[in-house]
Amino acid sequence: MPVEYELDIPQSLDEALNALASDNGSSVTPLAGGTNLIIDIRSRRERPARVVGLDYVSELRAIDCTSERVTIGSRTTVTDLLDSAEIAKAAPSLVDAARVFAGHMVRNAATVGGNIACGSPAADLVPPLMSLDAEVTLSSKSGSRTVALADYFTGYKQDVRNADELITQVAWDRLPEHSVNTFRKLGRRKGDAITVTGVALTVVVEDGVCQRARIALGSVGPTVFRARQAEALLEGKVLSNELFDAAARKAASESSPIDDVRASAEYRLHTIETLTRRLLTQAWARLA
Partner 1 sequence: MSSPKKITLRINGVNETLEAPAHRTLLEALRDLGHVEVKCGCEKGDCGACAVSIDGVAVDSCLTLAWMVEGREITTVSGLGDIENPHPLQKSFSDLGAIQCGYCTPGMIMASKSVIDRNPNPTDDDIRVGLSGNLCRCTGYTKIFEAVQDAASVMRGEGDKQ
**Which residue, 99 or 178, has its beta carbon nearer to partner 1?**
99
Closest separation in Å from C-beta 147 to partner 1: 28
26: contact with partner 1 by CB under 8 A: no
**Which residue, 2 or 143, has its beta carbon nearer to partner 1?**
2
Closest to 47 measured CA to CA, from 6, 99, 100, 88: 6
Could you tell me if 79 and 67 are in contact, meaning their C-beta atoms sit under 8 angstroms apart?
A: no
Q: Which stretch binds partner 1 (CB under 8 A): 19-27, 50-58, 202-210, 263-271?
A: 50-58
The whole-angstrom separation of Cα 99 and Cα 86 is 16
The whole-angstrom separation of Cα 40 and Cα 52 is 15
Q: Which stretch binds partner 1 (CB under 8 A): 122-130, 152-160, 184-192, 217-225?
A: 184-192
The whole-angstrom separation of Cα 231 and Cα 216 is 10
2: contact with partner 1 by CB under 8 A: yes
List CB contacts of 119: < 8 A, sequence separation 6 or more.
153, 156, 157, 158, 159, 223
Closest separation in Å from C-beta 32 to partner 1: 11
Site for partner 1 in 69-98 (CB under 8 A): 79
38: contact with partner 1 by CB under 8 A: yes
Q: Could you tell me the strand order of the sheet in which 143-148 lies? A: 63-65, 69-73, 166-173, 135-140, 143-148
Residues near partner 1, by CB under 8 A: 2-7, 9, 31, 33-35, 38-39, 41-42, 51, 53, 55, 79, 99, 102-109, 190-192
